[in-house]
Amino acid sequence: MGRKKIGLVGGGQIGGILALLATQKELGDIVVLDIPEMESYVKGKALDIMESTPVLGCDAKVEGTSNYEDLAGADVNIVTAGLPRKPGMSREDLLSTNVKIITAVAEQLKKHAPDSFNIILTNPLDAMVYSFKKITGFPKERVVGMAGVLDTSRFCSFVAMELGISVEDISATVLGGHGPTMVPLFRLATVGGVPLTELLPMDKIEAIADRTRKAGTEIVKLLGNGSAFFSPAASAIAMAESYIKDKRRVFTCAAMCEGEYGIDGYYIGVPVLIGAGGVEKVLEIKLTEEEKAMLANSLEAVKKATAETGL
């Protein structure tokens, strides 16, 4: 069979961490691609990781390149290419620049890796996944956006910090677009099977939900130059691993809805099953009237950003 091949399109902060995590988990051989001006830089990152493999005790071939032909036959591509946010910028501020970048990437991957499973991280996330799908024409099962995994992870982190409880025992779901309109379903959140609503007062839970919505912006402000990279990389690797190993895990991801949740023809954060077939199923949750209204509000933001791509 040979090892799987993983293409990482974009060799910046997230790209480097993706390469390290994929190596540590021995998910396959890795090719980190960036623009020609950055080729030497990504070759350096790849070589640095390769030189750590004897210490880490893992086998993987890691290469850097600027040539899309080196991604031929990739099983999985994780796309982080695009401008990161700076303080004062919304995800939508990146749209016009990043849609051009995503278009170029999509055209190349369609040509060189037509059978790949593709995970998109570029912001504004929901609109960029939609653009990638439109341009490649790949089936919806093989194009997905990393958002809800990260938003859910952030929500769970804040709950753990508040309660002083292991993150391993916290389960939650965050639906909707990746941005300030996301919808944390705290009535479904549990801590070791105990409903979160029985462990924290509603005002505390609302504060955690609010912090989750603004979590990316909080990190952008703290870093001062760029946006989060450790947590987005970890989230994308969890999705890639579920596909490569057919783990059939359930994550909230930006998936193409065709009628689910009353949404048709848009990418938005919903719970999905990821296995060897890619996004194999969208899981529908019965929402309360209030949650439906919040999801409808989130969809409006997604529709606006999607329309602005002009695709």
Q: Is 2 helix (H, G, I), strand (E, B) or coil?
A: coil
Which pTM value belongs to this model? 0.97
The number of folded domains in the chain is 2
pLDDT in tens, the chain (311 residues): 789 999 999 999 999 999 999 999 999 999 999 999 999 999 999 999 999 999 999 999 999 999 999 999 999 999 999 988 888 888 888 898 999 999 999 999 999 999 999 999 999 999 999 999 999 999 999 999 999 999 999 999 999 999 999 999 999 999 999 989 999 999 999 999 999 999 999 999 999 999 999 999 999 999 998 899 999 999 999 999 999 999 999 999 999 999 999 999 999 999 999 999 999 999 999 999 999 999 999 999 999 999 999 98
User: Which of 145, 171, 187 is the endpoint of a domain?
Assistant: 145
Q: Is 56 helix (H, G, I), strand (E, B) or coil?
A: helix
138 with 175, same domain: the answer is: no
Residue with tokens 């749209």: 95
115 with 191, same domain: the answer is: no
According to DSSP, the β-strands at 174-175 and 183-184 are antiparallel
Token digits of residue 219? 């990190």
168 with 228, same domain: the answer is: yes
Print the domain residue range for 84.
Answer: 5-145
The three-point CA angle 268-88-221 to 5° equals: 90
d(CA 185, CA 14): 28
Token digits of residue 46? 């790849």
User: Which of 94, 119, 145 is the endpoint of a domain?
Assistant: 145
44 with 120, same domain: the answer is: yes
100 with 174, same domain: the answer is: no
Q: Please list the active-site residues.
A: 178
Q: Is 197 helix (H, G, I), strand (E, B) or coil?
A: helix
d(CA 127, CA 124): 6
User: Which of 96, 113, 145 is the endpoint of a domain?
Assistant: 145
180 with 295, same domain: the answer is: yes
Give the neighbor-by-neighbor strand order of the sheet with 143-145.
Answer: 62-65, 29-33, 5-9, 76-79, 117-120, 143-145, 249-258, 264-275, 278-282
d(CA 120, CA 254): 9
219 sits in the region (left: phi over 0; alpha: psi -120 to 50; else beta) called alpha
194 with 270, same domain: the answer is: yes
CA distances from 276 to 25, 239, 245, 248 (A): 17, 11, 7, 8
Q: Which run of H or of E encompasses 154?
A: helix 148-163
89 with 207, same domain: the answer is: no
82 with 160, same domain: the answer is: no
156 with 286, same domain: the answer is: yes
d(CA 202, CA 228): 28
69 with 115, same domain: the answer is: yes
